[in-house]
A and B are shown apart, each in its own frame.
Chain A
Amino acid sequence: GAVVSQHPSRVICKSGTSVKIECRSLDFQATTMFWYRQFPKKSLMLMATSNEGSKATYEQGVEKDKFLINHASLTLSTLTVTSAHPEDSSFYICSAPTGSKDTQYFGPGTRLTVL
């Protein structure tokens, strides 16, 4: 399958700081990427759709000013958690659809811990 990478894999930060997470499609171009968060032993919750060259589309209940998304190129989307708080601690995973438009491959995830 297609390869999607994320960086960093793990980050620990202090409350109030901002954290940037990168998602890259390594062997294909992705005009659209998706960002999910996953709490322990829970399902994947879609946060937003990242669109190359335009604004991201956020799911209901997701604060767009807190979770800033930038899709700078056809292979890179970034999620910035601004003014992070302990309740933002979670596993953040991105995914990208391939040329078939519906088959999605996931990145390895980023475990964020806010102290």
Chain B
Amino acid sequence: GENVEQHPSTLSVQEGDSAVIKCTYSDSASNYFPWYKQELGKRPQLIIDIRSNVGEKKDQRIAVTLNKTAKHFSLHITETQPEDSAVYFCAASTSGGYNKLIFGAGTRLAVHP
């Protein structure tokens, strides 16, 4: 089955710096890759997603890139702010009708003022 690896597990940056989180997946049939932000005790919130027919997608300070050949995708956050501090999860879909999502282990991002 699908396996998703995520790195790093923790990331500490200064406010204003960029943060990059990387994920690799194993199932070449996966075609949907969302990123979720989860604050302590709360639900995961979808922040950006990308489908396999696109190589890059950007939404303000957040961007995601996808390399299908290498089976990896990355989240880029620019001009980080303290409110970006949270746990970020990548996920990859499995094949089928309503796609199941397999999640990476998560990255705890801390943005220091």
Contact = CB atoms under 8 A, between A and B. Distances in A.
Interface of A: 1, 31-32, 34, 42-46, 49, 93, 95, 97, 101-109, 111
B43 A101 contact: no
Interface string B64-98: 00000000000000000000000001000100011
Nearest to A100: B32
Interface residues of B, number: 24
B44 A93 contact: yes
Interface string B28-55: 0001101010000111111001010000
Contacts of B44: 44, 93, 106
Contact of B99 (A1, A102, A106, A108): A102
B79 to A, nearest CB: 24
Given A1-B46, A44-B44, A103-B46, A97 B99 contact: yes
Contacts of A34: 100-101
B49 A103 contact: yes
